[in-house]
Amino acid sequence: MTHNLFLISPSHHITISPHHHMNSLKDKVVIITGAASGIGNALAFECANRGAILSLADKNREQLHSTREELVRGGAEVVVTVADITLEGDCKNLIDNTLENYGRIDVLINNAGISMRALFEEVDLEVLRRVMDVNFWGAVYCTKYALPELLKAHGSLAGVSSVAGYKGLPGRAGYSASKFALQGFLEVVRIENRKKGLHVLIACPGFTNSNIRNTALARDGSSQGESPRDEAKMMSAEEVAKHICHAIETRKHRLTLTTQGKMTVLLNKFFPKFMDKMVYNHMAKEPDSPFK
């Protein structure tokens, strides 16, 4: 009889799993960094829809507070912390603030991230440092202080990485390096705690319609401005958030989104040299690409 379970799949978002109910996000305390915009913002609303109790962080005070107001109007329980996650003290403060308000942490989603676009040959090294500080060190600091609580709760640790964490993307040296580092770090934390009931998810969206590229850093560290890609062809941040929440509820280890993202990861495993050429050609087609 049980094999029929797999036929009951009303939409592509819900796959019925024996653990689904047990690991629901309902009443779980969830921390999300970079929650004021993009995927982080979509994650906040998706977690709220699933009944989670939220602790949100962002360095944009205004957007963070308006996100909070909107969520509270919808009936969610939310506490916010204005934090620059490149500062270890701010990350510790985020964890402390969550514990003061809720007494526990069930899920930490390291989502905050920035991108960059410039040839390594031309880029100011400060840009790489900045990207590493946000994408890698921010996740390390938050994880360090949240880990004891996550272990107590047999909770979930998630990192929003990228296909750039599997394949180096030209013009994105700092971004790819930070995502490779993030994935290596999360993998180690998963393996070290494999007998302690900690769940670790490495989530890799493909190109997502979020504002990360509008705020990408140019070679001199200034903001890139206009996104160099066609937003309409991408997966929405809302859809990405649904997939990530489902992967947390079902305790998946890895999530790679979009057909293009999955193909890139798969082909790179077996044909890395061929993929170097493919990725080069694909990225060279971007408007204002720094290489041709």
Identify the CATH number of the domain in which residue 230 sits.
3.40.50.720
CA-to-CA dists, residue 206 to 75, 233, 249, 268, angstroms: 31, 11, 21, 15
Residue 206 lies in a domain: yes
CA angle at residue 132 from 128 to 138, to 5 degrees? 155
Query: Could you list the active site residues?
Result: 175
Q: How many domains does the chain have?
A: 1
For the stretch 4-62, pLDDT in tens is 333 333 333 433 334 444 579 999 999 999 999 999 999 999 999 999 999 999 999 99
- Of 80, 81, 59, residue with least CA distance to 71: 80
Domain that holds residue 90: 18-261
Residue 275 lies in a domain: no
Residue 266 lies in a domain: no
Residue 278 lies in a domain: no
SS3 for 56?
A: strand
Residue 159 lies in a domain: yes
| Cα distance between residue 252 and residue 90, in whole Å | 29
For the stretch 183-231, pLDDT in tens is 999 999 999 999 999 999 999 997 765 555 566 888 888 887 655 555 5
User: Regarding predicted confidence, which is higher, 255 or 207?
Assistant: 255
Residue 183 lies in a domain: yes
Question: What residues contact residue 195 under an 8 Å CB cut-off, 6+ apart?
Answer: none
User: What pLDDT score does 121 carry?
Assistant: 96
Residue 131 lies in a domain: yes
Q: What order of strands is seen across the sheet that includes strand 53-58?
A: 78-82, 53-58, 29-33, 107-110, 156-160, 199-204, 254-256
Residue 1 lies in a domain: no
User: Regarding predicted confidence, which is higher, 260 or 161?
Assistant: 161
